[in-house]
Amino acid sequence: MTNAEWNQAELEQQEQQEQEELRKPSVMYCDYIVDKCHKALRLVEGTDIVMCVASVRHDVENDKLVSHTKQFVLMDVNKQIYRVTVEAA
C-alpha cells in the first residue's frame, strides 16, 4: 500500500467515524438524571433509612470516558449496600 493509498484509507476511516458520531443522539441526559437521584438521596442521608451516599463514579479508563454509565452506592440503616446505576439503554 502506497502512502497516498494509506492516507486515503485513513481519511475515509476518519470520515466514517465522524458520520457515526453525527448519528448518535446529540444530548445525553444521564448526567442530569444521576445528579437528580444523587442529590435527592443526599438530602435524606443520615435520617430515616438512608445512612450514607457515596460520590458518583464515571466509567473512565486511562483518563478517558468509556461510556455514559454513572454509578453511586449507598447504605441503609441495616448496613446493606446498594449500587445505583444510570446508563443509556
pTM of the model: 0.64
**Position 38 pLDDT exceeds 70:** yes
Domain range for 54 is 26-86
Residue 19 resides in a domain: no
Residue 69 counted as domain residue:
yes
Contact 59, 30 (CB under 8 A): no
Q: Is residue 55 part of a domain?
A: yes
Nearest to 71 by CA among 40, 47, 46, 35: 35
Closest alpha carbon to 83 in 57, 65, 48: 57
Question: How many Å apart are CA 80 and CA 15, to the nearest integer?
Answer: 49
Domain total of the chain:
1
Question: Is the pLDDT reported for residue 8 higher than 90?
Answer: no
Q: How far apart are CA 32 and CA 66, in angstroms?
A: 18
Higher local confidence (pLDDT), 77 or 23: 77
pLDDT attached to residue 35? 92
Residue 45 has pLDDT above 80, yes or no: yes
Neighbours of 54 (CB within 10 A): 14
